[in-house]
Homo-oligomer: A and B are copies of this chain.
């Protein structure tokens, strides 16, 4: 009976994978990873050249390719069947040999693997290797600390209603918004209303070779990159250690 090892891959640069995850990848006997149909998939791309050549690869292709409202019953039903199915398949595969599941960022921080993880409990021995979060990669790319002193950091999903985004942005020192893409106009409007737009950054493909950093206010309204994070840095609650201008 084999094990399932979920390897957190970090923000995108293969050099930012942990020593433990790197070892698991180099010794992998078979791997599985999520991707959208017809794409190579970000997780698989990160480990190109690290995985042994020729091992079995299992692409878990999401049943849908476009974003639908987060409260759509159809979306949730399709996803639930997809995770049920793949949990069964991974359990069967792991019965024969150890299996490594690739996960961008940190698996237990908004990661898709957790939907398999809860379904595999009690069926297969599972190890989760944490990773550097995408947001850590992005704030490091900006060259400025995200939090100082007693700053409060709020992490938000861009799918939340605009009024809720605005209210929470206005009361936070530091802000990270995940799930941007087509939610970007609403995120931008919320930041504007909260008086934080001028301090907001858009970081696309942070730590990757084609990384892009921009002030969100300078990004064209029609430009909604999918793999991006929006953030506002804190400045430290102690006046003595404020970030110099």
Contacts and interface: CB of A to CB of B under 8 A. Distances in A.
Contact of A15 (B19, B79, B106, B154): B19
From A118, A140, A149, name the one whose CB has the most chain B CB atoms within 10 angstroms: A140
B130 A140 contact: yes
A145 to B, nearest CB: 4
A145 B114 contact: yes
A110 interface: yes
A76 B110 contact: no
A62 interface: no
Contact of A80 (B110, B114, B154, B240): B240
B11 A115 contact: no
* Count of identical protomers in the assembly: 2
A194 interface: no
Interface stretch (A93-101, A156-164, A218-226): A156-164
B154 A152 contact: yes
A179 B149 CA distance: 10
Interface in A88-143: 106-111, 114-115, 117-118, 121, 128-133, 136-137, 139-140, 143
Interface string A200-217: 000000010000000000
B244 A130 contact: no
A192 interface: no
Interface string A70-86: 11000011011000000
Interface in A1-18: 8, 10-11, 13-18
A160 B221 CA distance: 38
A80 B242 CA distance: 11
B108 A139 contact: yes
Nearest to A110: B147
A207 B20 CA distance: 12
Interface of A: 8, 10-11, 13-20, 22, 70-71, 76-77, 79-80, 106-111, 114-115, 117-118, 121, 128-133, 136-137, 139-140, 143-157, 159-160, 168, 179, 207, 237-238, 240-241, 243-244
List of 3 A-B pairs having minimum Cβ-Cβ separation, nearest first:
A76-B240, A153-B155, A15-B20
